[in-house]
């Protein structure tokens, strides 16, 4: 994965909460963004415990409440980009962040996290992606859509573009490239050439097919509207938890948004791109 120089620092407290969750994701994980809070399921009229308010002040977002055993109150939410369960004690002064297991070894909060967090967060993430400015790569009626944060100078973006050709050319997949300019000083200028072309899709194709010889010629300057798009795209990339390119997002068979940071492994391509 090609990495960028950080332009934003994530809340250390939110990251700490995510680390505390036993379901903390690796690269093959649900990629999400905060969603509209869901109504509580156990006792919505009960005031939120003080310890939950304290955790919220550190970056934890509560999306719903669920039933928990032994007098505990379960809260489902998100820290950073991770679904997290928090269990508050009855008096509301203490909480455990992470996984609560019953005598059968079952995760008490798993179903609640899926229902209250993963589903709504996936819908919210997909809406953000659809509303972004992207360049189409493939047929508009392709049954599978994949978003990828791409830099014209990124070697791994080019590898993913090449690997996806059988799916794209057969009409099974449409890639939607959310362009960023973060790898080299002329990345933004190359994006400007692509985005201001009469056919951005064709210009992107020219860049990828000529990548080994330097790619598309960078524009002399970056128009203000292209710069604004690049800034918005980079903010979205960071918001969704990516620190480099390519940042790939797709929906699995359950409609849950999944992510890959970097070029997928060969045996993972069918998972990302679907049946060939």
pTM strictly above 0.85 = no
**pLDDT above 90 for 9:** no
Task: Specify burial of residue 135 (Cβ count, 10 A radius: 0-12, 13-18, 19+).
Answer: buried
The stretch 27-47 carries a mean pLDDT of 44
Q: What's the Cα-to-Cα distance from 149 to each of 130, 186, 196, rounded to whole Å? A: 13, 17, 18
In this prediction, residue 119 has a pLDDT band, given cuts at 50, 70 and 90, of confident
**pLDDT above 80 for 2:** no
Q: What's the Cα-to-Cα distance from 215 to each of 83, 122, 151, 175, 220, rounded to whole Å? A: 40, 34, 11, 19, 15
All residues at 6 or more sequence positions from 106 whose CB lies less than 8 Å from its CB, including other chains? none
Q: Is the dihedral angle over the CA atoms 99, 103, 106, 108 positive or is it negative?
A: negative
Helix (H, G, I), strand (E, B) or coil at 87: strand
* Closest-CA residue to 191 (of 158, 240, 153, 161): 153
- Of 24-28, 166-170, 249-253, the least confident: 24-28
Q: What is the pLDDT of residues 99-109, one digit of tens each?
A: 999 999 999 99
**pLDDT above 50 for 38:** no
Q: What is the pLDDT of residue 76?
A: 96
77 beta partners: 62, 84
In this prediction, residue 162 has a pLDDT band, given cuts at 50, 70 and 90, of very high
The stretch 89-110 carries a mean pLDDT of 95
In this prediction, residue 22 has a pLDDT band, given cuts at 50, 70 and 90, of very low
The stretch 88-102 carries a mean pLDDT of 95
For residues 4 and 180, the model is more confident at 180
**To the nearest whole number, what is the mean pLDDT of the chain?**
86
The stretch 38-64 carries a mean pLDDT of 77
Q: How many Å apart are CA 138 and CA 120, to the nearest integer?
A: 28
Q: What's the Cα-to-Cα distance from 201 to each of 49, 177, 263, rounded to whole Å? A: 52, 9, 21
**pLDDT above 90 for 218:** yes
Domains of the chain and CATH, by start: 2-122 (3.10.450.70), 132-273 (3.40.30.10)
Q: What is the pLDDT of residue 108?
A: 94
In this prediction, residue 25 has a pLDDT band, given cuts at 50, 70 and 90, of very low
**pLDDT above 50 for 18:** no
The stretch 198-224 carries a mean pLDDT of 99
Cβ 15 vs Cβ 107: under 8 Å: no
Angle, vertex CA 197, rays to CA 193 and CA 201, nearest 5: 100
């Amino acid at each position: 994965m090609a990495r960028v120089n950080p332009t934003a620092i994530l809340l250390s407290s939110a990251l700490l909460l995510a680390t505390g969750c036993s379901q903390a994701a690796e690269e093959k994980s649900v990629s999400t963004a905060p969603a509209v809070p869901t109504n509580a399921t156990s006792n919505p009229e009960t005031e939120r415990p003080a310890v939950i308010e304290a955790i919220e002040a550190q970056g934890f977002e509560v999306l719903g409440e669920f039933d928990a055993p032994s007098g505990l109150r379960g809260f489902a939410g998100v820290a950073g980009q991770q679904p997290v369960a928090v269990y508050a004690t009855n008096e509301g002064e203490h909480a455990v962040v992470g996984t609560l297991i019953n005598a059968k070894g079952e995760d008490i909060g798993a179903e609640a996290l899926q229902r209250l967090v993963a589903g709504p967060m996936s819908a919210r993430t997909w809406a953000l992606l659809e509303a972004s400015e992207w360049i189409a790569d493939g047929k508009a009626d392709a049954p599978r859509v994949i978003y990828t944060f791409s830099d014209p100078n990124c070697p791994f973006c080019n590898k993913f573009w090449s690997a996806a050709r059988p799916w794209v050319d057969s009409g099974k997949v449409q890639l939607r490239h959310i362009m960023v300019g973060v790898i080299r000083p002329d990345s933004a200028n190359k994006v400007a050439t692509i985005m201001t072309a009469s056919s951005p899709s064709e210009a992107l194709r020219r860049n990828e097919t000529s990548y080994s010889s330097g790619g598309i010629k960078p524009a002399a300057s970056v128009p203000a509207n292209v710069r604004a798009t690049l800034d918005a795209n980079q903010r979205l990339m960071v918001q969704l938890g990516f620190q480099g390119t390519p940042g790939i997002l797709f929906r699995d068979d359950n409609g849950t948004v999944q992510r890959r940071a970097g070029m997928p492994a060969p045996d993972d391509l069918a998972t990302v791109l679907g049946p060939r």
